[in-house]
Amino acid sequence: MRVFASTVFFLGLSCCAAFAQSNGIATSDANSQSPDMGSMNQMDDMRGINMQTMSEMSSTGVLGNYQMTRDASGTSWQPDLSTHQGIHAMTGDWMLMGHAMLWGIYDTQGGSRGGDKTFLEGMLMGEARRDFSTADSLNLRAMLSPDPLVGPSGYPLLLATGETANGVTPLIDRQHPHDLVMELSATYTHRLSQDNSVFLYAADPGEPALGPTAFMHRASSVDIPDAPITHHWLDSTHITFGVLTGGFVHDDWKLEISQFTGREPDQERYDFDSPRFDSTSARLSWNPDPHWSLQTSWGHLDSPEQLEPLINEDRTTASATYATRFSADSSLAATLAWGMKQLSSGVSLNGVLLESEFKPCDPWTIFARAEWEQNNELVPSSAIVRVGEITIGGIRDWQVADHLRFGIGALYAFDIVPSLVPSYGNNPHGAMMFVRTFVD
């Protein structure tokens, strides 16, 4: 199964680039598109995009009459000016989109609770959309990940917690791998008028209406290879086996409600878990202008952790994402997010994240992330420990072929741990050196 998964992922990455090159397919970059068609055409011309192909495609979003670059993971929104790479093509009545990214990472985490590991991670995504009339559309999405090849215990990441590698012990100071199948979803949208629409999103697995855009899709962290330590405070439900979401879009507002499975995916990363539909969430999103996307959400998760099946969780989140561009090749994206987990055991835990990506010019990306959280899993006594992490790094990309880029980068993380947890040592830290290739 591991050989099969690896083969599928590498073939998909190669085919995306080859298909684009052989068919003269257009690419899109959200930072090169503003919310009106005139400025979108101007920026597309700057990037040499085939406008004849692009003009045949729908320019509206999946869920309503807004700029298509607003759409992010699941049914979440980002600013209209967010960066997004993808290959687009038309076949009959269907608009197709493909995207692939593969990381090769050497990870070293300091101290007796750290470790070293070399591994692959990434994603391969395909999307197909058909507009049946001026009022109705169907969008299909599939996404795969090579994360299971990392192994059941994931990769070393100081202060990270959540899930289990073997069904017996919790993962602590390690980031769990994601499942091979990250999303299989269908979205049907009916437009009531120019500014109003309703939609239904069904997925197994997929992402309920809870939290900000998942970190690997977020404009402010798409170039950061490691997961935030606040992942389970904000966006850990991005792979949920069994999701139904209904929503209403009015102009730049979106209200949605989800029924989904509260349990996190188990340690078997190649299979499909049984849907339960035992949990509920609601999210309100607002994009006041092309630069901003705001959301607040609440969810009740029934028995989310396999090792603590009697404990339920109420999660509340709020976030603001900002994106802008300074030129055709220079941009900035930033996210401020807060999440609170209220456990049925009576414990409340807060987490805060601030992250940003700055592209001073086309080949270079500089990123930074600062996090703070209250965590009750880091010490055996289950005491609440306040910890933090500051990450800085960068990556340099090269265009190696049409629609294919290769990059080299590194990051360094400073971990902030109170003295009551002496097992981390005096100067806990982590570092990663990495290469990546992606289709743009």
In the 3-class helix/strand/coil scheme, how is 312-374 assigned residue by residue? CEEEEEEEEEEEEEEECCEEEEEEEEEEEEEECCCCEEEEEEEEEEEEEECCEEEEEEEEEEE
The rounded distance, in Å, linking the Cα atoms of 382 and 315 is 19
DSSP letter assigned to residue 37:
H
- N residues, the chain: 440
DSSP letter assigned to residue 197:
E
The residue written with tokens 């007796």 in the block is 112
* Residue 24 identity: G
Pairing of β 253-260 and β 279-286: antiparallel
The CA-atom distances, in angstroms, between 187 and each of 61, 68, 147, 243 are: 12, 14, 26, 11
Chain center to CA of 286: 19
Q: Are 367 and 358 in contact (CB under 8 A)?
A: yes
Q: Are 213 and 72 in contact (CB under 8 A)?
A: yes
Q: What is the pLDDT of residue 58?
A: 53
Q: Which residues contact 325 (CB under 8 A, 6 or more apart)?
A: 31, 32, 81, 331, 332
The rounded distance, in Å, linking the Cα atoms of 126 and 188 is 17
Measured in Å, how far apart are the chain's first and last C-alpha atoms? Answer: 29
Structure tokens at 158: 């100081």
What pTM did the predictor assign? 0.87
* Residue 301 identity: L
Structure tokens at 148: 């299971």
Q: Which residues contact 426 (CB under 8 A, 6 or more apart)?
A: none
Nearest to 332 by CA among 40, 101, 67, 82: 82
**Secondary structure (DSSP) of 256-322:** EEEEE--SPP-S-TTS-PPP---EEEEEEEE--STTEEEEEEEEEESS--TT-TT--EEEEEEEEEE
Q: What is the pLDDT of residue 88?
A: 87
The CA-atom distances, in angstroms, between 75 and each of 14, 129, 212, 238, 420 are: 28, 15, 10, 10, 41
pLDDT by 10-residue block (mean), the chain, 440 residues: 43 45 44 41 40 49 93 97 84 93 97 94 95 91 96 96 93 96 98 96 98 96 97 97 98 98 95 96 98 98 96 98 95 98 97 98 96 96 95 97 94 92 89 94
* Residue 133 identity: S
The rounded distance, in Å, linking the Cα atoms of 46 and 67 is 19
The rounded distance, in Å, linking the Cα atoms of 418 and 386 is 7
The rounded distance, in Å, linking the Cα atoms of 373 and 384 is 10
